[in-house]
Homo-oligomer: A and B are copies of this chain.
Amino acid sequence: MRLKDSYTLPAAADMHVHLRNAPGPIAALVTPTIRKAGIDTVFVMPNLAPRPVVSVAEALAYQRSLQALDPDVTYLMSLYLHESITPDEIRKAKAAGIAGVKAYPRGATTNSQWGVVSFEPFDEVLRAMEEEGIVLNLHGEVPSSAADGVTVMNAEARFLPVLRGLVDKYPRLKIVLEHCTTADAVEAVRSLGENVVGTITAHHLSLLVDDWSANVHHYCKPSAKTPEDRRALLNAVVTSNGKFFLGTDSAPHDITAKKGKGNTAAGVFTQPYALGYVLTALEEALERGDIPESSLSSADSRDEAVLRGFLSEYGRRFYGLPPATRQIRLMRGTATVAESLKGEEGVEVVPFRAGEQTWGVEWL
């Protein structure tokens, strides 16, 4: 069974993107690809280096720089959970339209060196977030530790008790478990109240540990895991009912950070073709039998409802945004993924599934 050859949908929202420092050559390269992908709203991650976004003023300045690159995208801004943030800053953030505060467990991923060791010292900030309705965005991994038996393969599962602890302590806090990669994470999110949701990336709907083992462009944090985990993610997409929505974690790195002398930077770049990757992954899942055919049936427009919800509606609703006003058309096989994107200052970023045919996007 295949999907239909084209879909008309509301513009998509990508609730987890990395656009890097702006102004800057990577931001200049990737920001204009957001709308090309059929997306008009993005939640922007604050883990910039050498300094993360830790104040409202910085977030708004970053937002203005991004607007200069493409004014027709809505940029939901976030702060990096850091000891310098006060409850008062949270209230200012709310007033300024900041959408969330991202918590990085220290040492778990790219630019997490200023991150959280324990949530205890953030009690007042978290209470202010709960009151103000500012979302807590969680990178849901504990740092790897040989002594504790934690590796990239179980770091997410080991984080879930931390998630449950936060929910117990701050029961009204809106929480996104970002980039779920395991059956355990899906189950945890499902078991919690409606103020707790999960984002799912495009690439984790396709990749397994084997794929990144031999391909640096497939390596990311949290890393892709087992066939059972991928199946759980795919089923979370088609049975989401608002609990899961798209957050690509598109993470552009210059080719030298992937293929250069040093260690491999974590991140898969999916921004320009994000929706096509999702549709391809769902079709591949149908072929493998990982999701039931009925879950994407076109006879009862179940396919359109799933795509509309996961790609556009559920994320906007969770962040309190109105529905999309513009529409897009996705057309099978009318685009080819570039071998790489080249920008100013010699930067070069290799996209996921480089060279493959994918779904083209038209704005209506």
Contacts and interface: CB of A to CB of B under 8 A. Distances in A.
Contact of A149 (B216, B219, B227, B263): B227
A213 B152 contact: yes
A214 interface: yes
Interface string A136-162: 000000001011010111000000000
B264 A215 contact: yes
A111 interface: no
Nearest to A226: B151
A219 B226 contact: no
Interface in A206-229: 208-210, 212-216, 219, 223, 226-228
A231 to B, nearest CB: 9
17 contacts: A144-B208, A146-B208, A146-B227, A146-B230, A147-B288, A149-B228, A151-B209, A151-B210, A151-B227, A212-B213, A213-B223, A213-B264, A215-B263, A216-B216, A259-B259, A259-B260, A259-B261
Given A259-B259, A263-B215, A264-B216, A210 B152 contact: yes
Which among A209, A223, A266 has the greatest number of chain B C-beta atoms within 10 A?
A209
Which 5 A-B pairs rank lowest in CB-CB distance, beginning with the nearest? Answer: A146-B227, A214-B263, A214-B264, A144-B210, A151-B209
Contacts of A226: 149, 151, 153
A227 B259 CA distance: 27
A146 B212 CA distance: 14
Nearest to A223: B213
- Copies of this chain assembled into the complex: 2
Interface residues of A, number: 29
Contacts of A149: 226-228
- State the majority secondary structure of interface residues on A: loop
Nearest to A224: B151
Given A151-B209, A153-B226, A213-B264, 5 more contacts: A147-B288, A151-B226, A153-B209, A214-B266, A259-B260
A146 B228 CA distance: 8
Given A146-B227, A147-B288, A214-B219, A209 B263 contact: no
Contacts of A208: 144, 146, 151
Interface string A15-34: 00000000000000000000
Contacts of A288: 146-147
A62 to B, nearest CB: 27
Interface in A160-213: 208-210, 212-213
Given A214-B266, A264-B214, A266-B214, A209 B147 contact: no
Interface string A241-279: 000000000000000000111011110000000000000
Interface in A91-150: 144, 146-147, 149
Which among A146, A149, A152, A263 has the greatest number of chain B C-beta atoms within 10 A?
A146
Interface in A292-312: none
Interface in A315-345: none
A152 B152 CA distance: 14
Nearest to A143: B210
Contacts of A260: 259
Contacts of A230: 146
